[in-house]
Amino acid sequence: MTQSRSTRDVKALEASLYMQAARRVPVTLVRGEGTRVWDDTGKSYLDFVAGIATNSLGHAHPGLADVIATQAHTLIHVSNIFYSEPQIELAELLISHSALDRVFFSNSGAEANEAAIKIARKWGKLHRDGAFEIIVTDHSFHGRTMATVSATGTPRYRDPFAPTLPGFVFVAYDDVDAVRRATTPRTAAVMVEPVQGEGGVNVPKPDYLPQLRRWCDEQGLLLILDEVQTGVGRTGTIWAYEQVGIEPDVMTSAKGIGGGVPLGATLAKEHASVFEPGDHGSTYGGNPLATAAGTYVMRQLVETDLLANVRARGEQLARRLAGLEDRTPLVTGERGVGLLRGLELGKEVAAEVVTRAVGRGILLNPVRPDVVRFMPPLTVTAGEIDEAVDIVESVLQEIGS
Ligand SMILES: *Cc1c(COP(=O)(O)O)cnc(C)c1O
């Protein structure tokens, strides 16, 4: 018989059994409730990583847990060769609460972007004389599959796997002129994140997306927005694009949409919706379990005051982080939108700040050597924000200048 989970040395076993593809924080998490998680020694943490922006409703949300359990007792999975009610229920919610007309479900952000890339390629064949290039940006993150890693603006994620997929043209982020210069008859689409998440919580100028939209309209290009991290309420509106008054032709979603259950979505306007029967597929994509969870998360967003909480708590977090600038010499600023925020440090000590913060019971993520990312569940309370920033302040004072 195998030992009970709690008496096994998970970290040692991981080192010998698991592919060493990730650098892990030496903490084994065993349970959660709301914004809090507990490790295998009983120590509790405020979770400001939230599964990398996936656990929108916090941990062990009773309503979400009930929906998942009920669906599991009813029908977990059916093949996409059949119709399924939860899938169409979520499709209806997403279409009625976005500017897009059709959806395709998958299991992750990378997969959602794969579908968007395939749409751009096929659309270019049909409508732009075989154009196939997609303009993407430096410091972008679109996923780890071969196509999405080829589109990702971090060379160290791409180089070990060269040759990468052709057809991605890199330009600086937040620079519309660079996109204009890179546009050729081969260009089919421009793909960007409304705010770069993994690249460092990089917020573009307010007119960046509107100008990109205008350029794509003038040139007849598709504008693809990767809202995998920014979507589903994270920035204080359901989709980040709503805040700059534009609409994408294609948009991708994942991370927070399933509340922690793997789910991805690719949405498109009718004119960009070029898939025909046989063009694309996914065995698990949009299965009843995942889409029942997604429906519950979307309902919470549109039927409760969750978005108001994101805006209020986002402002509070921004204000508290900005306040650290006056009180701790290490802090040089803060940036972000809603509950996706970064604390800027004058030195490359983000990893040390995070390690010490974990020791004091708050989970954070060093998204760049000099930026600590904060992305709590959308349900985070005012008290939890204050508690988290107080801990970070004491850690910064400990490190000194
Ligand atoms: C996380 C992320 C992805 C990849 O999502 P996975 O679910 O890990 O495949 C893609 N784009 C953005 C903007 C992301 O933040």
Chain segment 75-114, per-residue pLDDT in tens: 999 999 999 999 999 999 999 999 999 999 999 999 999 9
The pLDDT tens digits of the residues spanning 9-24 come to 999 999 999 999 999 9
Ligand 1 pocket mutation pick from 52, 202, 255 by most atoms within 8 angstroms of CB: 255
DSSP per residue, 111-167: HHHHHHHHHHHHHHHHHSTT--EEEEETT----SSHHHHHT-S-HHHHGGG-S--S-
What pLDDT, on a 0 to 100 scale, did the predictor assign at position 400?
83
Q: Taking each helix axis as running N to C, give the angle between helix 288-303 and helix 306-327, from 0 to 180 degrees, rounded to the nearest 10.
A: 80
Find the catalytic residue in 226, 249, 275, 370: 226
What pLDDT, on a 0 to 100 scale, did the predictor assign at position 1?
46
Q: Taking the model in full, what pTM does it have?
A: 0.97
β-pairing verdict for 222-226 and 264-268: unpaired
What is the phi-psi region of residue 145: left when phi exceeds 0, alpha when psi lies from -120 to 50, beta otherwise?
beta
Q: Is there an atom of ligand 1 within 6 Å of 379 CB?
A: no
Whether pLDDT at 8 is above 90: no
Does the annotation count 275 as an active-site position?
Answer: no
Q: Whose CA is nearest to atom 15 of ligand 1?
A: 229
What pLDDT, on a 0 to 100 scale, did the predictor assign at position 144?
97
Q: Whose CA is nearest to atom 10 of ligand 1?
A: 142
Q: Please name the CATH architecture into which domain 5-60+305-400 falls.
A: Alpha-Beta Complex (3.90)
Does the annotation count 141 as an active-site position?
Answer: yes
The pLDDT tens digits of the residues spanning 129-144 come to 999 999 999 999 999 9
339 CA distance to ligand 1 middle (Å) = 17
Enumerate the domain spans of the chain: 5-60+305-400, 75-303
The pLDDT tens digits of the residues spanning 277-325 come to 999 999 999 999 999 999 999 999 999 999 999 999 999 999 999 999 9
- For residues 295 and 139, give the distance between their C-alpha atoms in angstroms, rounded to a whole number: 32
Does the annotation count 226 as an active-site position?
Answer: yes
What pLDDT, on a 0 to 100 scale, did the predictor assign at position 6?
63
The pLDDT tens digits of the residues spanning 368-387 come to 999 999 999 999 999 999 99
Fold annotation for 75-303? Aspartate Aminotransferase; domain 2 (3.40.640)
